[in-house]
Chains A and B, each alone.
Chain A
Amino acid sequence: MLTSLHIDGNSWLHRLPVRAKLLALVMLSILLFLSGSLFVQLAAFVISAGLYLSVGLSWREALKRVGFVFFTIFFLAAVNLFLLPLNDVAVLTLRLMALVLFAAAVTATTTISEFMDEVTALLTPFERLGWVRAADVSLALGLVLRFVPDIFARYQAIREAHRARGLPVRPLTIIGPLIILTLKDADTIAAAIDARGFRRQ
């Protein structure tokens, strides 16, 4: 149910460390927002599109992943055509498309565990301050991945119960029971975690 957007492969972007890719994304966004030149934006768009299409996604999948964001960008670009000069619209649209494509390329070439290692590294300073524990973040993430299928099964059961009684399936009558039933498990799960001493408390 929860399959990562990572794509197996051995492209140049796959082999680059996560930190370098994230830094590149940040640098690219700063650079593109500072620059108002159409040429720079066009070059960034061509490079980002080239990178994104070279990571090993099928055309269909590649389009599906950025389609929704592109739809919003094009819609706002169409609105902008009436309000701004043509050159500005082209700069703004190309800039956003370049950033979205580069970000999608980073997502496609980085595994969840690589990201989590980086998150843990980024949390270290906060851990020293005693604000957060990196192990807690990983534990919480693991819990989400573990319980999503269970909660979805529960949603389906509630939906079937509605149908069996001839009731319309409405968000209102589903959300209440779904949340109560799910959160009531919290005590049992917390007890199970503490009994195993995962958080060393």
Chain B
Amino acid sequence: MNTRDLVLIALFAAIVVVLGLIPPITLGFIPVPITAQSMGVMLAGCILGAKRGALAFLLFLLLVAIGLPVLSGGRGGLAVFAGPSGGFILGWVVATFVTGLIAQRFVREGQPEVRQFVGFFLASVVGGIVVLYAIGMPWVSAVTGTPLLAVATGSLAFLPGDFLKAAIATLAARAVFAGYPLLPVRA
């Protein structure tokens, strides 16, 4: 890994920290407030690609684990991994990796703009929603004993917000791809 990749990973982890400081937005038609930080998975994968994106999140989790309150709402420390949503937090690394793999596979420079939007949206939905829930929900079920079906039903409340996040991440990732492309330079 060259120094530039190392710096990109560190800067992106720092961006995810700052996204946690932005106040969450509440929308009338969605039951849960939307935190900018939870968009980080989709953004990191779509902008830095699989390897660097996943490493950026691994670094972010290291910050959480060593006791820095960097999760949105000033949370942090080992307690968040021990809690019911620990699986979602650990799942961020895998989710970012998958998002990055799909984005690298489907988005190229010189493609029509629409194809790039579709590629980023697909990557964000599969990586940031499908993979993340596939790790997070069984974890919740395993540690709290709540049947998986009940957890899945409850998680439906988060889905509208997640799709909105995927849409925002798609637009932002495409803007970065047009302004300062990093995805094609494979690490």
Residues of A participating in the B interface, judged by any CB pair closer than 8 Å:
1-6, 25, 29, 65-66, 68-69, 72-73, 76-77, 79-80, 83-84, 88-89, 92, 96, 99-104, 106-108, 110, 112, 115-116, 119, 136-137, 139-141, 143-144, 147-148, 151-152, 155, 171-172, 174-176, 178-180, 182-187, 189-190, 193-194, 199, 201
Contacts and interface: CB of A to CB of B under 8 A. Distances in A.
B172 A175 contact: yes
Interface band, chain B: 35 or more
Nearest to A155: B18
A175 B168 contact: yes
A171 B11 contact: no
Contacts, number: 199
Contact of B11 (A1, A29, A112, A183): A183
Contacts of A193: 3, 6-7
A176 B83 CA distance: 33
A190 B3 contact: yes
Consensus secondary structure, chain B interface: helix
A174 B22 CA distance: 10
Contact of A80 (B43, B47, B85, B144): B144
A109 to B, nearest CB: 10
Contacts of B145: 80, 84, 88-89, 92
Consensus secondary structure, chain A interface: helix
A103 B82 contact: yes
Contacts of A110: 66-67
Interface string B43-54: 100010000000
Contact of A68 (B4, B73, B146): B73
A79 B150 contact: yes
A152 B21 contact: yes
A152 B22 CA distance: 9
A74 to B, nearest CB: 10
Interface in B70-123: 70, 73, 75-85
